């Protein structure tokens, strides 16, 4: 038997309905705030991710699915959505009529990480981006959207954490202070942090290894090194969150693993996920549009881990499983042929309908209707066919009414929708 690839998963009926509910809530909320959907390719030129994410990041170095196509070009299955959205923003000149664009997408990403609970090699994200807006109010609105979405999905214990990564003017001083500390505790760092400390030192702050966290307990805070502009933006972000009633924690260890982030960064964490506490994260990336060949325009955004989110929502998958409006129970070949015609015509009218296509007893058919949770059963056998009257049973009240064959589709539709 051929099984699926390790690190991938099937989303089966019974679970997919919950995913659809989450998608529906996200789409409704985003579009209420002026976001429009964008659909981007699953595959891009590798150069896009090297230039945006950074060649020294773990994603580019170790995790991307990259290969040469038949023409010899290097291509990559997208590991995240932001770079692709920015590429589309530039390529199609979406900034021309108005630089301010609010875009969102929902779909799969690919990284060859070690599979673990809630973490897959094909995983799904809900992504939202605000392009062409410099104001920290855009960051505040994104955090507010995340909090609202999690509230609507009944996620317990969600907590907003924020930080500032500074900008090209103030980050060098912080980086120098951090590297000085890292040099003094280098022998206490894990293998990954030893590799990162010279090439991507901010990532060391995010390490979950206890020994590294202890070694960096006195690490400097980026916030203490902010220039006047970054300080003003960070203060405005906090004031906006307070005015919106969003509780938050300033977390000096909060960094992002991608090179393009600057200034405000944020995460939504929850204790429902154990060590992998972040369910969503994002921040500002004001230089990425220009670095990818577009105009010098700011941007900010976030991504939600869909797989993780589906594990912790306070919703029951069974509440969203579709149940038939009517189940057709036909006895005998001639009755089954007629019922099959009705089944197709009812479905065309938008009525959710099911029927057994094989030869089964009435008892067996009624068991099937119960198992599916059908609201009504439309029964037809030899007697009903002779009298040209079917029986419609309400499975809740057990009440039965006669439905003449003549106009049966219109009659059933009227009875089910009144």
pLDDT tens digits along 290-335:
999 999 999 999 999 999 999 899 888 788 889 999 999 999 999 9
User: What does the block give as tokens for 78?
Assistant: 């997208």
If you compute the radius of gyration of the chain from its CA atoms, what whole number of angstroms results?
A: 28
End-to-end CA distance of the chain: 49
Q: What is the pLDDT of residue 262?
A: 87
The runs of H, that is alpha helices, within 64-190 are: 82-91, 136-152, 171-184
- What percent of the chain has pLDDT above 70? 96
* Residues in Cβ contact with 382 at an 8 Å cutoff, skipping those fewer than 6 apart: 331, 332, 335
> What per-residue confidence (pLDDT) applies to 272?
61
What is the reported pLDDT for 259? 62
* Percent share of the chain, pLDDT over 90: 68
Computed over every residue of the chain, the mean pLDDT equals 90
Whether residue 418 has pLDDT greater than 80? no
CA distance 81 to 301: 10
Domains and CATH numbers, the chain: 16-170+226-317 (3.30.930.10), 322-411 (3.40.50.800)
Region of residue 57 (left: phi > 0; alpha: psi -120 to 50; beta: else): beta
Mean pLDDT over 249-271 rounds to 83
Q: How many CA atoms lie less than 13 Å away from 26 in the CB half-sphere?
A: 26
pLDDT tens digits, residue range 16-41?
999 999 999 999 999 999 999 999 99
pLDDT tens per residue across span 266-277: 999 987 655 557
User: How high is the pLDDT of residue 276?
Assistant: 56
Question: Is 289 within 8 Å of 296 (Cβ atoms)?
Answer: yes
Instruction: Name the β-bridge partners of 281.
Output: 267, 303
pLDDT (tens digit per residue) in 350-359:
999 999 999 9
Place of tokens 């999690």: 150
CA 95 from chain center: how many Å? 25
pLDDT > 90? residue 192: no
Burial of 224-258, coded b for 16+ CB within 10 Å and e otherwise, reads ebbeeebeebbebbbebbeeeebebeebeebbbbb
* Contacts (Cβ under 8 Å, ≥6 apart) of 216: 181, 185, 204, 205, 207, 253
- Whether 257 shows a pLDDT value over 70: the answer reads no
In this prediction, residues 144-161 reach a mean pLDDT of 93
Q: What is the 3-state secondary structure (H, E, C) of 212-233?
A: HHHHCCCCCCHHHHCCHHHHHH
The torsion of the CA quartet 238, 297, 63, 277, rounded to 10 degrees, works out to 10
CA distances from 223 to 163, 182, 218 (A): 7, 18, 14
Least confident of 77-91, 213-227, 299-313: 213-227
Query: Do the bridges between strand 353-355 and strand 159-164 make them parallel or antiparallel, or are there none, so unpaired?
Result: unpaired
- pLDDT score at 55: 63
Predicted pLDDT at 181:
82
**Banded pLDDT at 184 (limits 50, 70, 90):** confident
Query: Among 101, 80, 135, 104, which residue's Cα sits nearest to residue 258?
Result: 80
Residue that is written with structure tokens 């004001």 in the block: 286
- Residue-level pLDDT at 118: 66
Q: What is the pLDDT of residue 51?
A: 86
Q: What is the pTM of this model?
A: 0.88
Residue 169 — pLDDT band, cuts 50, 70, 90? confident
User: Which of 40-49, 106-115, 255-264 has the highest mean predicted lDDT (pLDDT)?
Assistant: 40-49
In the numeric block, the tokens 């010279």 are attached to 198
User: What pLDDT score does 16 carry?
Assistant: 94
User: What local confidence, expressed as pLDDT, does residue 163 receive?
Assistant: 94
């Amino acid at each position: 038997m051929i099984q699926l690839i390790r690190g991938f998963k099937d989303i089966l009926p019974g679970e997919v309905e919950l995913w659809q509910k989450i998608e529906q809530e996200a789409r409704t909320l985003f579009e209420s705030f002026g976001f429009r959907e964008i659909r981007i390719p699953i595959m891009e030129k590798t150069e896009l991710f090297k230039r945006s994410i950074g060649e020294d990041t773990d994603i580019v170095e170790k995790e991307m699915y990259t290969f040469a196509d038949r023409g010899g070009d290097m291509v990559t299955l997208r590991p995240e959505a932001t770079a692709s959205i920015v590429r589309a923003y530039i390529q199609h000149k979406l900034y021309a009529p108005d630089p301010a664009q609010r875009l969102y997408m929902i779909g799969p990403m690919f990284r060859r990480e070690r599979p673990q609970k809630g973490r897959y090699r094909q995983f799904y994200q809900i992504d939202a981006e605000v392009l062409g807006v410099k104001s920290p109010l855009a960051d505040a609105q994104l955090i507010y959207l995340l909090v609202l979405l999690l509230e609507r999905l009944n996620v317990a214990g969600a907590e907003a954490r924020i930080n500032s990564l500074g900008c090209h003017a103030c980050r060098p001083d912080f980086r120098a202070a951090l590297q000085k500390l890292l040099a003094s505790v280098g022998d206490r760092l894990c293998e990954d942090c030893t590799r990162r400390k010279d090439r991507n030192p901010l990532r060391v702050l995010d390490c979950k290894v206890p020994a590294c966290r202890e070694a960096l307990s006195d690490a400097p805070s980026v916030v203490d090194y902010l220039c006047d502009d970054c300080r003003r933006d960070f203060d405005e972000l906090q004031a906006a969150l307070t005015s919106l009633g969003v509780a938050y924690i300033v977390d000096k260890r909060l960094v992002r693993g991608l090179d393009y982030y600057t200034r405000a960064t944020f995460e939504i964490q929850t204790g429902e996920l154990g060590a992998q506490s972040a369910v969503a994260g994002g921040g500002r990336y004001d230089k990425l549009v220009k670095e990818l060949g577009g105009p010098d325009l700011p941007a900010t955004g976030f991504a939600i881990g869909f797989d993780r989110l589906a594990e912790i929502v306070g919703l029951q998958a069974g509440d969203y499983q579709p149940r038939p409006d009517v189940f057709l129970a036909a006895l005998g070949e001639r009755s089954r042929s007629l019922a099959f015609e009705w089944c197709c015509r009812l479905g065309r009218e938008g009525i959710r309908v099911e029927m057994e296509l094989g030869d089964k007893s009435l008892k067996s058919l009624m068991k099937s209707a119960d198992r599916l949770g059908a609201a009504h059963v439309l029964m037809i056998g030899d007697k009903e066919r002779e009298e040209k009257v079917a029986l419609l049973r309400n499975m809740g009240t057990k009440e039965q009414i006669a439905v003449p064959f003549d106009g049966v589709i219109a009659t059933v539709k009227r009875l089910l929708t009144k």
